[in-house]
Amino acid sequence: MIETVAKLVDTTLCIGCKACEVACQEWNDQEFTTGVFRNTYQTLPDLAPNFWNLIKFSEHDINGEQHWLMAKYQCMHCADAGCIKACPAPGAIVRRPNGIVDFVHENCIGCGYCITGCPFDVPRLSPKTRKVYKCTLCSDRVAAGLEPACIKTCPTNCLTFGSRNDLKFLAEKRAEELRKDGLANAGVYDGPGVGGTNVLYVLKHADRPQDYGLPKDPRIPWTVSLWKGPLKWLGNTVFFGGLLAALVHYIKVGPKEAHDEAEN
């Protein structure tokens, strides 16, 4: 049996070193952007088509104590993936047998519906290639028995890779340990509302996920849920719209095969 793989982000061990950000871009041959100053240590304000892994930095006073929180943000590889639900192009977003939600760019029509469908606001449309990009959980590395690039490089064991079941167990155990050490609100974030995510978080303040840049109650927009549910017929109608979009895309940008290089 092929097990579902997952990442565990233990935010209590994150030092904001940003190695995962660079490892992701380096491995995936994404161009680096020269940033501009924004009164913060955070690299970019948000994810981008060429930047799939962001450490969010935020400062909070919690119980009168100064906290500088750092947490990794990327595709959550949801069990009930809003992007897949929303996507009108067959085979553009697939779930690999190991649970990785992967974009297949030759099938992507650049309609951007997946962006609307994502409760975590992750996919990004490239204006250059007119295709949507996000973390692949390094499906190429995983298929070769390697850890995802971000996980391998993480110096502090903040990131762990493995089977979802094992990681869920580890995460709960770690949270329990933290609670025993007096952090009453420590807990696990497992994408409530989307059937669980294949990226799990251990949070010191699990009661305030928004302080880490995580939505408190992520939900797939009802419009998207309807689309592939009771209103499937409507979806089909829109699907033809999608095909139309693909055609327009073809005319404006040219044949797909030529784009692979442009991505890099």
**Residues 11 to 30 in contact with other proteins, rule: CB under 8 A:** 12-19, 21-23, 25-27, 29
45 makes contact with other proteins (CB under 8 A): no
What does each C-alpha distance from 154 to 31, 42, 159 come to in angstroms? 21, 17, 6
Q: How far is the CB of 45 from other proteins (least distance, A)?
A: 13
149 makes contact with other proteins (CB under 8 A): yes
Q: Which amino acid, residue 119?
A: P
Measured between alpha carbons, how far is 211 from 207 in angstroms, rounded to an integer?
9
> Which residues 67-96 are close enough to bind other proteins by CB under 8 A?
67-70, 96
> Do the beta carbons of residue 119 and residue 219 sit within 8 Å?
yes
If the CB atoms of residues 80 and 140 are measured against other proteins, the closer one turns out to be 140
Q: How far is the CB of 139 from other proteins (least distance, A)?
A: 4
Q: How far is the CB of 223 from other proteins (least distance, A)?
A: 28
Report the Cα 181 to chain-centroid distance in Å.
31
Q: How far is the CB of 151 from other proteins (least distance, A)?
A: 8
For 84-96, b/e burial (b = at least 16 CB within 10 A) is bbbbbbeebbbeb
Measured between alpha carbons, how far is 235 from 244 in angstroms, rounded to an integer?
14
Q: How far is the CB of 115 from other proteins (least distance, A)?
A: 19
x/- track of binding to other proteins for residues 97-136 (CB under 8 A)? xx-x-xxxx------------------------------x
Please tell me the count of residues contacting other proteins according to CB under 8 A: 75
238 makes contact with other proteins (CB under 8 A): no
Nearest 5°: phi and psi at 143?
-65, -25
> Closest Cα partner for 150 from 130, 165, 136, 169?
136
> Which residues 155-214 are close enough to bind other proteins by CB under 8 A?
155-158, 160-163, 166, 169-170, 173-174, 177, 181
Residue 261, token pair as written in the block: 């290089």
Task: Choose the binding region for other proteins from 124-132, 151-159, 192-200, 217-225 (rule: CB under 8 A).
Answer: 151-159
Task: Choose the binding region for other proteins from 36-44, 75-83, 112-120, 126-134 (rule: CB under 8 A).
Answer: 36-44
> Which residues 51-70 are close enough to bind other proteins by CB under 8 A?
59, 66-70
For 228-238, b/e burial (b = at least 16 CB within 10 A) is beeeeeebeeb
- Rg (Cα) of the chain, in Å, rounded? 19
Provide the β-strand partners of residue 8: 160, 200
